[in-house]
Chains A and B, each alone.
With several copies, the nearest count.
Chain A
Amino acid sequence: MNALLILPLAQAASGETTSGSLLSAQGADLLYLIASIFFILGIKGLTHPRTAVRGNAFGAIGMLIAVAATVAGPALSGHAFDFTMIAAGIAIGAVLGALTALKVEMTGMPQLVAVFNGFGGIASALVAGGAFLLAIGTETSLQGDIATAASGLIGALTFTGSIVAFFKLLDLRSLRKIPGAIPGQKVLNGLLLLGALWFGVQLVQDSSQVSTYYAICAIAAVLGITLTTPIGGADMPVVIALLNSYSGLAAAATGFVIDNNVLIVSGSLVGASGVILTAIMCKAMNRSLTNVIFGSLGPSADGPSADDVYGGKVKGASPDEVAMLFDGAQRVVVVPGYGMAVAQAQHTVRDLANLLEARDIEVEFAIHPVAGRMPGHMNVLLAEADIDYDKLKEMDEINPTFETVDVALVIGANDVVNPVARTDPQSPIAGMPVLDVDKARTVVVVKRSLSPGFAGIPNPLFAMDNTYMMFGDGKKALIELIGVLKEE
């Protein structure tokens, strides 16, 4: 279908002006162009922490301009429509969005991003669907038909996929065992995709049937579920980044449907962003995207068992003992991991760092690119706790210096400090770049047990001579440690 042929939508794109609108169609288009510039400047702002707040504001301004151009433009004026419904839609959305954004814990960011992603995707699919419905009975263009089918497919898939990701992230541990690939999973997915594409072809050949569009969306929605369900909960961040990219592509496709440049520009920006983040995460985990989506990463049966690795070699240490390790230390590096996020220990970590610094100890934070469950997850948590970002060191920067570290304090990190990645080419994380914590003079690991991290493999670091395990919940253990240090 070609939205250009629907009268009201068309006026936004063609040359006609409806008397009564504040802006001519060209005026509105010019504002859309300005909005695109703001979006680009917004992303540009995010390339540096100093300009990032302003960049985000630019993005918001761009959105405001685009909305204003639409409202004041010719498309909305001169038509009888239920203004209450628009106002209600915006009000409901704004309140829900604002509440969620203000209430969410920083540890809940992955879930939030997942669910917002899904909303972006479904909105695009719904818009394309609306335009499709309105165009029924008119002649349509191949361009519009293809874009409509693409928008429905990608949008619906993004929606259900994101919702699954959301639930998987909500409670990682309990859901982790459940799904697993059902037999013939890949065949099923393939069939679903073929089905959706088949209906897409139908839509292009005959764009007068509403049911075709619904069928595409329904199949894509099922596909979104079957694709994401078997993926390990901890792989969800990669999936989310990919879905982020899809939500952008859906918006761009909708731009082709309604012939609107600003949708195309911003959709492409988001699409590129998601693709790059996905690639970064896969690289940091040394896995291919296909492996993340179709491979299963379970505890490998043939690797060394936990007993082999730990048997009799693990030394526990009480907070008092750990406190003594800091006597005379000059350089301490804190390695935060997913467990710190779970324990919400970031503020306690900050207090500890301040205490150590008050003793003239140099404290730095070593941030692994996939520590936690989102790219940059640790940075956000530590920033929340008001820790100067100059103290956060990236892996490549800090790795060569671990030999001069007196105490490496590992808080709830596991896989990202597992030396097996370097030493055992058979291990499931072989080749994944890790923080070389084992080279520090002493290592203190704070976690609740010897249970494995996301990759499900034992970690020989815990059994090293110079490693001390301080068992306990991240936050509680650190509070005790702080208590001891203060008493001294």
Chain B
Amino acid sequence: MELFGCFFVAAADGGTSLIALLTIFMLAVFVGFELITKVPPTLHTPLMSGSNAISGIAIVGALLSVVALGGEGEHAGMARWLGFFALVFATINVVGGFLVTHRMLAMFRSKK
């Protein structure tokens, strides 16, 4: 496989699907920038832990990997364990992240 000009080659391999994914990536980055510049400093710590929890979305990938648990191939055993640990780590991140953010945010309140 040629590596030079790899971006274009990549585009040629993946077809429009890759461009669609890149478009989604680009738009999501814009949405993220616009929204996050509006978060007030007061909420920066919760933002950090909350966005952290969102990055635990890898849990979806971890779940998809577990189908390997029934797989047969040479590497299925290893893939199974990778999937399992991914699941554990991602779940900690998700459950812990949203909970601790909630705990923090519940403390913020205006007494007005």
Contacts and interface: CB of A to CB of B under 8 A. Distances in A.
A binds B: yes
Interface of A: 8-9, 12-15, 24-27, 29-30, 32-33, 36-37, 39-40, 42-44, 46-50, 52-53, 55-57, 59-60, 62-63, 66-67, 69-71, 75-76, 79-82, 85-86, 88-90, 92-94, 96-98, 100-102, 104, 106, 109, 112-113, 116-117, 119-120, 122-124, 126-131, 133-134, 136-137, 141-143, 146, 201, 204-205, 210, 240-241, 244, 247-248, 250-252, 254-274, 276-277, 280, 367, 369, 374-377, 379-380, 383-384, 386, 388-390, 392, 394
A259 B60 contact: no
Contacts of B31: 40, 268-269, 272
Interface in B7-24: 8-24
Interface in B54-76: 54-71, 73-76
Given A36-B23, A97-B94, A126 B54 contact: no
Contact of A113 (B19, B20, B48): B48
A127 B100 contact: no
A397 to B, nearest CB: 11
Contact of A66 (B22, B60, B74, B75): B60
A146 B91 contact: no
Nearest to A248: B55
A33 B28 CA distance: 12
Interface string B65-94: 111111101111011101111111111111
Contact of B68 (A66, A134, A374): A134
B8 A269 contact: no
B92 A119 contact: yes
A390 to B, nearest CB: 6
Given A258-B64, A272-B32, A42 B54 contact: yes
Contacts of A26: 8, 11-12, 15-16, 18-19
B58 A127 contact: yes
Interface string B2-46: 010010111111111111111111111111110111111111111
A205 B3 contact: yes
16 contacts: A14-B15, A43-B35, A43-B54, A47-B43, A55-B50, A63-B56, A67-B63, A90-B91, A109-B100, A116-B97, A133-B79, A143-B18, A264-B21, A375-B44, A376-B43, A376-B44
Contacts of A388: 109-112
Contact of A380 (B10, B46, B83): B46
Contact of A261 (B9, B21, B103): B21
A254 B58 contact: yes
Contacts of A100: 92, 96, 100
Which 5 A-B pairs rank lowest in CB-CB distance, beginning with the nearest?
A93-B91, A272-B32, A97-B96, A376-B44, A97-B95
Nearest to A103: B100
Nearest to B45: A376
Contacts of B58: 120, 123-124, 127, 250-251, 254, 263
A45 B106 CA distance: 14
A52 B110 contact: no
Given A266-B55, A375-B44, A101 B103 contact: yes
Contact of B65 (A67, A130, A374): A130
Contact of A86 (B13, B82, B87): B87
Interface size class of B (residues with CB under 8 A): 35 or more
Nearest to A55: B50
Nearest to B28: A268
B45 A377 contact: yes
B109 to A, nearest CB: 8
A47 B74 CA distance: 49
A15 B15 contact: yes
Given A9-B67, A60-B98, 10 more contacts: A26-B16, A67-B63, A80-B70, A86-B69, A97-B93, A133-B82, A269-B28, A273-B48, A280-B44, A384-B107
Nearest to A17: B12
Determine which residue in B10, B37, B51, B106 has the highest number of CB atoms from chain A within 10 A of its CB, and name it: B51
Nearest to B74: A136
A119 B89 contact: yes
B71 to A, nearest CB: 6
Given A96-B92, A273-B51, A274-B51, A79 B67 contact: yes
B40 A47 contact: yes
Contact of B19 (A29, A124, A146, A379): A29
Contacts of A80: 70
B83 A126 contact: yes
A85 B61 contact: no
Contacts of A117: 52, 55
Given A13-B16, A126-B62, A127-B83, A119 B103 contact: no
A49 B92 CA distance: 26
A247 B52 CA distance: 8
Given A43-B32, A63-B98, A270 B46 contact: no
Contacts of A142: 1, 6, 9-10, 13-14
